[in-house]
Chain A
Amino acid sequence: MVADRPPFEDLYRAYLGRIYAYVRAQVASSADAEDITAQVFMNAYNAYERFEARNTTPAAWLFRIARNSTLDHFRAHGRRERLRRTIEHQPVAEVDPSGVAEDRIQYHALLERVAKLPERQRDAISLRHSGLSFEEVGVLLKCSEDAAKMLYHRALKALKEAVAMEGV
């Protein structure tokens, strides 16, 4: 039974980039994204022996841990401050040296815009574009596959309007 699971390193190498991108779309800095990604894989590594491949896909399992870790991060670092920034549409004040290079990437502004969407819309877009099926998105967001599709399309429209307003 246990041997049906792929080696954890295979999962790690396959999903590290996608998990990082998902987390990066949620948080303000690449340093935070690295910290949370590290926490995700540390937790996953320690829990891997309890992972049941027949109950869920490795992707859905890892993204569930990533989502929980991101929510924990927000809880620990002051949801109120983040909400204030979101409402005021203010850029993050902190200097983030490790993010300087990344800031040059063409789509950084788009991900910042995703990060400002309401939580469930942000999750729907991030999870979907991280490669999860609508069924997997639905399971993670505790709704049906159809509801996940609707949520995603509402989020996409909201993002389009925001992009049009801000000229991203």
Chain B
Amino acid sequence: MSEPEDLELEALQRQLDDAFETTRPRVGFEDELWTRMQASRPAGSRLRDAWLGLIQAIREAPAVPMAAVAAVLVVVIGVSVLAYSGLRFGGGAGSSASLSSGGQPYNAGSAGAFGRLPSPVLSAGVPPKAANAGQPAAAAPDAEYAGAVTLTWTGKLDLGIATAPVFRYREPSTNSADQFATSLGAILQNRPAGYLGSYETTDFNVRVRGTVQAPAQEPSFIILPITAVAPIEAAGGPVDVAVVFLAQHSLAPSWPYTSDTVVSGDVSKVTLSRQFAVSGYGYAYLVDGTGERYGLEVDLKGNKPVSAAGPLPLSLESADYSIISADEAVRSVLASSSTSAGAANAPTVALTTAELVYSLVVAGDHSFYEPSILFTGSFKVNGTTYVKHVMVPAVDPSQRSS
């Protein structure tokens, strides 16, 4: 072989190395498949795996006295048998399944596995919002009612569950952001301050950032087209156009959601509001510090996407935590009104509905999605109707650190 040919072959080998190294499945596929594999195995096999894992762990710790090992094994066997027979301890505080009913792949831990949790910063800071009659709260203008209110509860709350999962993610690195961008076919341009990276394809720019402390926001991405995006043909209107656009870029949510469209001028904003599946309860919305639902947003002009923004796909771990009862939640929300009822003539707000929701709690290297109870009511001041949200942390206070 001639020397130039050798060099050409070496260059081709390097290209092949790069090609195989950069070809990876779409984001989320790894966890989806792992969950399917776990679900496909008989319970007996999973128990056997756990057993073998325990034996291996013991082998790796030879200094442990044999008597202690034997005692641990007896306890583990007992717990395993009870767990697989369907029995639960303490009112249902067992570990959760690895696949929620919403099809979200989670790595499940044992009950309370994350230790004491930081408390969400919620109710006191949620201002009432003016609402136009007949319009949903999400479409209301942001006219805040600054005065104090007195709260009453006239609704009915029955959560029907004693535990709820808490979800945790690890703060993504620049590497994680790069992998996400690579899955979109985007190349790193630079790392602007406050962002993990800015990336480009020939068609669009994508920026990725990590968790924001205040107001709390999980790691997210935003896509802005560089060139005009071709119109997307979809039969069902803006929501379908948005979903098709997201699917084309492997960004369709892997979590449950409901959709909503708000039209402003020639721009339609499609919001896919994120939900978490809670066994025994159903689906609970993700809300921000003001109690508003949020998730993934796509702005459209006609059938052309002009931007998309949403949470970075991340692997979530989950662990069940005991939550307060409905009565405790009501007592807690009513108690919160005494602090704000400074004025003697404060208007009375009748809270009429309540639901389980999730909110982000930022906590350094790991952050959490924690359950809360969101109470909602409306009241009138000077002829204007306002909507009031109040949130109460749902995790039992004994399992919270603050």
Residue A18 contacts which of B12, B20, B248 (CB distance < 8 angstroms)?
Answer: B20
Q: Chain A contacts of B248 at CB under 8 A?
A: 97, 100-101
User: Contacts of B9 on A, CB cut-off 8 Å?
Assistant: 153, 156-157, 160
Is the pair A24, B33 in contact by a Cβ cutoff of 8 Å?
A: no
Stretch of A30-38, A50-58, A134-142 contacting B (4+ beta carbons < 8 Å): A30-38
For this complex, into which size category does the number of interface residues on chain B fall?
Answer: 35 or more
Q: CB within 8 Å of B: which of A98-131?
A: 98, 100-108, 110-111, 114, 125-126, 129-130
What 4 pairs between A and B have smallest CB-CB spacing? A104-B185, A107-B19, A21-B23, A129-B20
Q: Which residues of B contact A106 (CB under 8 A)?
A: 18, 22
Binding site for A on B (CB under 8 A): 8-9, 12-13, 15-26, 29-30, 33-34, 36-37, 40-41, 49, 52-53, 55-56, 59, 182-186, 201-202, 247-250
Given A7-B53, A42-B40, A125-B16; A34-B23 close (CB under 8 Å): no
Q: Which residues of B contact A111 (CB under 8 A)?
A: 19-20, 23
Q: In the complex, how many angstroms separate the beta carbon of A99 from the nearest chain B beta carbon? A: 9
Nearest Cβ on chain A to B64's Cβ, whole angstroms = 16
Min distance, Cβ B401 to any Cβ of chain A, angstroms: 30
Are A98 and B250 CB-contacts (below 8 A) given A2-B52, A156-B9? yes
Q: A20-B25, A98-B247 are in contact. Are A41 and B37 (CB under 8 A)?
A: yes
Contacts of B17 in A (CB 8 A): 129
Interface range on chain A (Cβ under 8 Å from partner) = 35 or more
Shortest distance in angstroms between B183's beta carbon and chain A's nearest beta carbon? 7
Across-interface contacts of B40 in A (CB, < 8 A): 42, 45
Residues of chain A with a CB closer than 8 A to B183's CB: 101-102
Given A104-B202, A107-B15, A156-B9, A97-B22 contact (CB < 8 Å) = no
Please, which residues of chain A bring their CB within 8 A of the CB of B12?
156, 159-160, 163
Q: Please, how many angstroms separate the alpha-carbon atoms of A143 and B59 in the complex?
A: 39
CB of A68 to closest CB in B, whole Å: 18
- Which of A30, A100, A110, A157 touches B15 (beta carbons < 8 Å)? A110
Contacts A17-B25, A42-B40 aside, 6 further interface pairs with beta carbons under 8 A come to A20-B29, A37-B33, A41-B33, A101-B183, A101-B250, A102-B23
User: Is B25 in contact with A12, judged by CB distance below 8 angstroms?
Assistant: no
Across-interface contacts of B21 in A (CB, < 8 A): 21
6 examples of A-B residue contacts, CB within 8 angstroms: A7-B49, A21-B23, A42-B37, A102-B26, A114-B16, A156-B9
Pairwise interchain contact A156-B13, C-beta atoms closer than 8 A: yes
